[in-house]
Amino acid sequence: MSSRWTEVTLRSVAEVIMGQSPPGSTYNEEGDGLPFFQGVKDFNYRHPTTRVYCSAPSRIAQPGDILLSVRAPIGQVNVADRVCAIGRGLSIIRARNPRDCRFIEFVLRFLEPSWHAIEGTGSVFGNATKKDLESLILPWPPERERHAIGHILGTLDDKIELLRRMNETLEAMAQALFKSWFVDFDPVIDNALEAGNPIPDQLKGKAKRRLALGNKRKPLPKHIRRLFPDRFIASELGPIPAGWGIRSLDEIAEYLNGVAWQKYRAKEGEPSLPVIKIRELREGITPASDRASLDVPEEYIVEDGDVLFSWSGSLLVKIWCGGQGILNQHLFKVSSKHYPKWFYYLWTSEHLDRFQRIAADKATTMGHIKRSHLSESYVLVPNSTLLGKMTTIIEPLVEKQIANKIACRTLANIRDALLPKLISGEIRVENAEEFLEERGPC
């Protein structure tokens, strides 16, 4: 640490406000009151995700306030991006000088592992108190350096956040197109109405809503819309577009279950890959992830861009972009020789709600689905010409998401490597640019 740096307590540079949970009767999901965050389950990458509101909040955070978890896992950090209420699982860290907020945020992130180290010792008894937080010792460089460090690390974080938000938009666009084409049948309804063909009773409500939109309907361009049928036929699933086939999930894709990685447990010092379990699917690879040797059969190695589906415990469908890893049991790697990635990814996602309900009904065991449920989950398959045109529209949305996720991982690795070096003073601000250049473009 530079001789010009000092150490300060958190109390001397920030106000600490402990959360308080109002009566449960004040919670709602209708948007009445303020967004309410109880703990880390509400945390996202940098800003929390609103799931519940509170009509009578007791502790209110302002935009820019740091939110720190005070219950296990202690020390995790998010930042309020709106006025919100917090419960007992969180505290508000409000910088006395607003310009120090970003620096304090990164120091607290730097200190997070130290909380994990003492959680199991009983030193904080599963909870961090106001006194624990206020007595935290922070490295404290001169003002100019504090703000420069906050700016350098914050710029990397902001780039990651921008890419994440872009991906949310891309995913929403892909899901909306899929729903319009395969669930609501909007282009087929438009064609049937234009051709004067009958609308099945089950779809008359949708057709009426389409007509009511008038000029806001925004139909597909004619050269694309004409590839869709203009009538419906009866099927075991109800009315479907004429000429489309019905398949099951396991007919359009292969669902490869993971390997018992313990048979391939890595020995110290030998080349290895991280094991991708449900936790890694949710949170990414961490230093705590188990590792397996490279003797694992090749089909169980996961690459960026692979579709993974956890069929047990927390059921999730994601396109993996966390780097090479080993597929654990309870996860499927989904692939197909005959259909594009977007097609089997979105159809598997379409059935996820049903799969989650099936798993939730297994109250006496860890919730899961069986392979038979894949066979019972149906897919509508258009002709190859239309499927090809759909691919030219949706595939770029999915591929851009993959590229953005990989870029996020690269930026996060750079930030995480730079964070301890800047906070400890090992690298000075003026040398940070050289550090970034050595690790490639941001």
The end-to-end CA distance of the chain, in Å, is: 27
Contact 235/228 with Cβ under 8 angstroms?
no
Q: Which structural domain range is residue 322 located in?
A: 251-381
SS3 state of residue 389: helix
- Residue-level pLDDT at 60: 98
CA-to-CA separations, 373 to 95, 102, 348, 357, in angstroms, rounded: 53, 48, 11, 12
- Residue-level pLDDT at 439: 66
Q: Are 12 and 136 in the same domain?
A: yes
End residue of a domain, out of 122, 140, 158: 140
Tell me the CATH number at 311: 3.90.220.20
Q: Give dist(CA 442, CA 434) in Å, integer.
A: 12
1 inside domain = no
14 inside domain = yes
Q: Give dist(CA 122, CA 145) in Å, integer.
A: 36
334 inside domain = yes
- Residue-level pLDDT at 46: 93
Peptide bond into 73 cis (omega under 30): yes
Q: Give dist(CA 149, CA 153) in Å, integer.
A: 6
CA-to-CA separations, 306 to 37, 135, 227, 387, 410, in angstroms, rounded: 33, 46, 30, 21, 18
> Token pair 């921008």 is at which residue?
162
pTM exceeds 0.85, yes or no: yes
Closest CA to 334 of 322, 320, 315, 350: 320
Q: Are 256 and 375 in the same domain?
A: yes
SS3 state of residue 162: helix
pLDDT in tens, the chain (442 residues): 566 899 999 999 999 999 999 999 999 999 999 999 999 999 998 999 999 999 999 999 999 999 999 998 899 999 999 999 999 999 999 999 999 999 999 999 999 988 876 665 555 557 899 999 999 999 999 999 999 999 999 999 999 999 999 999 999 999 999 999 999 999 999 999 999 999 999 999 999 999 998 878 888 999 999 999 999 999 999 999 999 999 999 999 999 999 999 999 999 889 999 999 999 999 899 888 999 999 999 999 999 999 999 999 889 999 999 999 999 999 999 999 999 999 999 999 999 999 999 988 865 556 789 999 999 999 999 999 999 999 999 999 999 999 999 999 999 999 999 999 999 889 888 887 677 766 655 4
Tell me the CATH number at 145: 1.10.287.1120
Q: Are 38 and 158 in the same domain?
A: no
Closest CA to 2 of 415, 417, 414, 431: 431
Domains of the chain: total: 3
Q: Give dist(CA 109, CA 95) in Å, integer.
A: 15
End residue of a domain, out of 351, 381, 411: 381
Q: Are 373 and 408 in the same domain?
A: no
Q: Give dist(CA 318, CA 310) in Å, integer.
A: 9
Q: Give dist(CA 47, CA 49) in Å, integer.
A: 7
- Residue-level pLDDT at 121: 56
Structure token pair of residue 354: 């049903």
> Token pair 């909040």 is at which residue?
57
3 inside domain = no
Residues near 384 by beta carbon (within 8 Å), at least 6 away in sequence: none
- Residue-level pLDDT at 247: 98
